[in-house]
Amino acid sequence: MDVAISVNIPYLNGFDDLRSVEDISKVLDTHERRPIRYAPWSAGEKQPEASFALAYDNDEIYLKYYVNEHTLKAEYSKFNDPVFEDSCVEFFIAFDDDMSYYNLEFNCMGTSRAQYGQHKNGRTFIPVNLLKTIRHQTLVKSTVVGSIQWELTLCIPKKIFMFHPALSFEQSKAKVNLFKCGDGLPQPHFLCWNKIEAQKPEFHLSRFFKEITFSRKAS
Q: Cβ distance 133 to 60 under 8 Å?
A: no
Cα separation, 202 vs 152, whole angstroms: 23
Ordered domains of the chain (ranges, CATH): 7-214 (2.60.40.1190)
Q: Cβ distance 52 to 67 under 8 Å?
A: no
Cα separation, 108 vs 214, whole angstroms: 26
Contacts of residue 122, Cβ cutoff 8 Å, sequence gap at least 6: none
Q: Is residue 25 predicted with pLDDT exceeding 90? A: yes
Nearest to 195 by CA among 42, 17, 30, 33: 42
Q: How far is CA 12 from CA 58, 135, 172, 177, 216, in A?
A: 9, 17, 15, 21, 10
Q: What confidence tens digit (pLDDT) does each residue in 109-154 have?
A: 999 999 999 999 999 999 999 999 999 999 998 777 778 999 999 9
**Position 116, amino acid:** Y
The least confident of 43-52, 80-89, 138-147, 155-164 is 138-147
Cα separation, 137 vs 80, whole angstroms: 18
Mean pLDDT of the 175-179 span: 98
Cα separation, 3 vs 8, whole angstroms: 15
Q: Is residue 2 predicted with pLDDT exceeding 50? A: no
Record the pTM.
0.94
Cα separation, 181 vs 69, whole angstroms: 10
- Between residues 192 and 4, the one the model is more confident about: 192
